[in-house]
Amino acid sequence: MDKQLQDKLLELFTGKLSRQVQLYLDTCSRCGVCSDTCHVYASMPIPKYTPAYRAEVVRRIFKKYFKAQGKLLPVLGEAKILDETALDELKEAAYSCTGCRRCMVYCPFGIDTQQIMSIAKLLLIGANSEPEILTMLADMSISKGESIEESKERFIEGLKRLETDVIDKWKIKAGKTPIPTDAQNADILYVALAGAHSIVPAAAIFNAAGENWSLSFFEAVNFGAFVGDPAKTKLISDRIVNEAKRLKVKEVSICECGTAFRVMKHLSGPQPFKVSSLTEVHARYLREGRIKLDQSKFDLPVTYHDPCQMARNAGVIDDPRFILQHLTDDFREMAPDPKYNWCCGGGGGLVALGEETLDFRMKSARVKADQVKKTGAKILATACENCHTQLSDLNDHYKMNVEVKFLSSMVADALVH
Amino acid sequence: MDTIYTLILVPMVYLAFFVFFAGIIWRITALIRKPKLPTTLKIYPEKKPAILWALTDTFFLPGVRRNNPVLWFFLMVFHLCLLLLFIGHLELVWDLPMFQMIPHEIFLGNGFLGIILSVSLLFFLFRRFISPTKDLSVPEDYFVLILLFLTVIFGSEMDWARRWYAYEEMGPAEYRAYLQTLLAFKPDIGDVNISGHSFMLVLHVFFGNLFLMVFPFSNLMHSIFAIPLNKLRRG
Ligand code: SF4
Ligand code: SF4
């Protein structure tokens, strides 16, 4: 690696050294407690898949260039030069971690491996070694934000084709728009994903609740966050923030996408509007009696997979359970419970990388499949696009014999007048 | 020999304490000068008050207990003994009536705590020979454990060694006299180098000095960073 590139990467590294991240890098007793708390290592016991090993890949470079110990006595901490092999290791480490932060729950110091891996991801971007698809997808989202006026019409046309599906689920008064867009002063701006499954059920439920809502022109998914590019992450979420400000909405509700929700709610600073997940909104409607559900709609045992970025990392834990109480008499909690729940194995951009990561995703999530099977449930509900895709793949691969469903679509199907 | 003893017992002690405190202050300043991330990194479900839960996490290690009860047991015992021995060392310098509820001359169990510490340290050391901890460990981790082991062994068995020689010749009173001259910056090693078991004291102090000097530059800083880190997790 030439000196110029190395300097550039070290500069990127320096930019990542906030007080918190430096604390994480400064502390690790390599006690190994975190090892089998990672679904990857628990499913495939190879040392490089332990959280601390992953973190050490970054930490060794940190020691080499930022620590007195690493400069004077590199052998002590096995400080390491940043070169091509280091890049390979960084890639392996970062893209075998889903950023679920389960290890952080067990670590005596609460070391956040996801934060440390975000350094690895940024260095990879700096060296043009990140998975290209993710950057491409991120760039597409950004350019869509820049040229929204041109694509608006096509988008609205597309929505027209979904209207009958929405009305099929919930009849609205004549003259009302089933899927409103660009509604000034709406109470809720709903940010969906590209795809009918993310728009139709949600729209039906908003209409059933008599909500004054508007659909965002943008997709919620943040590929910038997956690839670990802070600038792109911000550009992508800013599109939504600006739309919300322009329409003067009170609340922005993020669809079933864990990362998009966490980025908007917890990782992009205070906003002039309330941020909630679609699940929270649905629970609120139920609590306020704005919608009613038919509890006999699903007569099979149901279990719920907590998306890591929604539950452990963003606090949406009780609401999905509250909703499920209204959907079934036979809800089966997974063990261990939400705080310790196993990651599905699809986060951190792995699902977005598709076939390329399929084999790894299946092998690394054996513990998840076992956990689901143990519940004996026949319906596996979840509230995250990534999790849904990954769980469906697991279902095929491990013959889990369940039907994987979005929580929102279950709510929409069980709506009663 | 006398010169070496004196070097270890006086200038090296001063140097060690200087490096220890200066190093820690340097490490903490380096941290505080870094910009703070404005976002939260906490884990849910949250419990209030966060600081109390962060302290509980720091001192009782619930995550470790859940994951590895045997390790948890040794970690708890080890850190507790360390705390008691720290108090014991304070007692060597000052009278702490609070801790004299059970009157004692040689502090706390006549070396018994040291044995427990040594056993725990050996446990920590040997678990580093087994995968995956083996693959995680770096030389620093072994080095620190061995250093601590040596410090503890010579310190805790000092009284046992004393029995082999003239028992009354050198004991806590002499240690105290020596330590107080150090504290007053009028160093005088007095009678601590005359007995046959002085070598135990000198080795204890020697390894202790090394330990103090290594402390700020090693993962031992976890003892200081544990509370802020746990606070981060609790939000
Ligand atoms: S549990 Fe924490 S301190 Fe122990 S090895 Fe893992 S990250 Fe390091
Ligand atoms: S964040 Fe999740 S995937 Fe990454 S190391 Fe920790 S437990 Fe493993």
Please compute the mean of the pLDDT values over residues A330-340 and round it to a whole number: 91
Q: Using CA of residue A330, residue A335, residue A339, residue A342, what is the dihedral sign?
A: negative
Three-state SS at A34: coil
Task: Give the residues surrounding ligand 1 with Cβ less than 6 Å away.
Answer: A 28-34, 51-52, 107-109, 111
Tokens 């867009």, residue?
A: A181
A298 pLDDT above the threshold of 90: yes
Question: Measured between beta carbons, which residues in chain A are less than 8 angstroms from residue B125?
Answer: none
pLDDT (tens digit per residue) in A57-86: 999 999 999 998 899 999 999 999 999 999
Nearest 10 degrees: Cα torsion B68, B72, B73, B74: 110
Per the CB < 8 A criterion, the answer to whether A188 and A211 are in contact is yes
Is the CB of B22 inside 8 Å of chain A's CB atoms?
A: no
pLDDT (tens digit per residue) in A101-110: 999 999 999 9
Distances in Å between the alpha carbon of A61 and those of A115, A118, A119, B141? Answer: 15, 14, 11, 18
- How are beta strands A415-416 and A403-406 bridged, if at all? unpaired
Is the CB of B97 inside 8 Å of chain A's CB atoms?
A: no
Phi and psi at A51, nearest 5°, equal -55, -45
Please compute the mean of the pLDDT values over residues A190-215 and round it to a whole number: 96
Q: Which pLDDT score, from 0 to 100, does residue B93 have?
A: 85
Looking at this predicted complex, what is its ipTM? 0.93
Q: How many CA atoms lie within 13 A of A376 on its CB side?
A: 4
Best of A16, A23, A31 to substitute, by most chain B Cβ atoms within 10 angstroms, is: A31
Give the C-alpha separation, A61 to A120, whole Å.
10
Is the CB of A312 inside 8 Å of chain B's CB atoms?
A: yes
> Do residue B232 and residue A23 have CB atoms under 8 angstroms apart?
yes
Lowest model confidence (mean pLDDT) among A102-116, A224-238, B158-172, B221-235? B158-172
Q: Using CA of residue B64, residue B69, residue B73, residue B74, what is the dihedral sign?
A: negative
What is the pTM assigned to this prediction?
0.94
Burial A281-308 (b: 16+ CB within 10 A, else e): bbbebbeeeebebeeeebeebbbbbbbb
Would you list the DSSP string of A62-118?
HHHHH-HHHHH-HHHHT----SHHHHHHHHHHHTT-----HHHHHSTT---HHHHHH
Report the residue of chain A nearest B143, measured CA to CA.
Answer: A76
Question: Measured between beta carbons, which residues in chain A are less than 8 angstroms from residue B64?
Answer: 31, 33, 106, 108
Would you list the DSSP string of A293-329?
E-TTS--S-EEEE--TTTTTTT---HHHHHHHHTT-S
| Widest pairwise Cα distance in chain A | 77
pLDDT band at A162 (very low <50, low <70, confident <90, very high): very high
Is the CB of A56 inside 8 Å of chain B's CB atoms?
A: yes
Give the C-alpha separation, A397 to A391, whole Å.
10
Per the CB < 8 A criterion, the answer to whether A325 and A364 are in contact is no
pLDDT band at B19 (very low <50, low <70, confident <90, very high): very high
Q: Which pLDDT score, from 0 to 100, does residue B106 have?
A: 62
pLDDT band at A306 (very low <50, low <70, confident <90, very high): very high
Q: How many CA atoms lie within 13 A of A76 on its CB side?
A: 17
Nearest 10 degrees: Cα torsion B117, B122, B125, B131: -120
- How are beta strands A292-293 and A415-416 bridged, if at all? antiparallel
Tokens 């300043």, residue?
A: B29
Give the C-alpha separation, A313 to A339, whole Å.
9
Give the C-alpha separation, A52 to A34, whole Å.
7
Q: Which pLDDT score, from 0 to 100, does residue A116 have?
A: 98
Q: Which domains does chain B have, with CATH numbers?
A: 2-47+68-224 (1.20.950.20)
Q: Which pLDDT score, from 0 to 100, does residue A323 have?
A: 98
Per the CB < 8 A criterion, the answer to whether A415 and A170 are in contact is yes
DSSP label at B36? Answer: P
- Is residue A248 left, alpha or beta, with left meaning phi > 0 and alpha meaning psi from -120 to 50? left
Average pLDDT of every residue of chain A: 95
Nearest C-alpha neighbor of A352 from the set A390, A394, A403: A390
> Do residue A26 and residue B35 have CB atoms under 8 angstroms apart?
no
Residue A41's H or E segment, with its range, is: helix A39-43
Give the C-alpha separation, A133 to A318, whole Å.
35
In sequence order, the 6+-apart residues with CB closer than 8 A to the CB of A149 are none
Nearest 10 degrees: Cα torsion A238, A348, A394, A316: -60
Give the C-alpha separation, B76 to B66, whole Å.
14
A377 pLDDT above the threshold of 70: yes
pLDDT band at A295 (very low <50, low <70, confident <90, very high): very high
Distance A35 CA to ligand 1 centre (A): 8
B62 pLDDT above the threshold of 70: yes
Token pair recorded at residue A410: 């279950």
Distance A97 CA to ligand 2 centre (A): 5
Note the helical H segments in chain B. 2-9, 11-32, 50-60, 62-67, 69-93, 112-127, 133-136, 139-156, 158-162, 172-183, 198-214, 222-234
Phi and psi at A291, nearest 5°, equal -135, 155
Q: Which domains does chain A have, with CATH numbers?
A: 3-130 (1.10.1060), 133-288 (3.40.50), 302-413 (no CATH)
In sequence order, the 6+-apart residues with CB closer than 8 A to the CB of A305 are A334, A341, A344, A372, A380, A381, A382, A387, A391
CA terminus-to-terminus distance, chain B: 55
Token pair recorded at residue A190: 């709903």
| Widest pairwise Cα distance in chain B | 64
B107 pLDDT above the threshold of 80: no
Cis, peptide link before residue A336, omega less than 30° from 0: yes
Report the residue of chain A nearest B33, measured CA to CA.
Answer: A19
A352 pLDDT above the threshold of 70: yes
Token pair recorded at residue A236: 């992508």
Please compute the mean of the pLDDT values over residues A275-291 and round it to a whole number: 97
Three-state SS at A414: coil
Of B39, B219, B226, the CB nearest to A266: B39
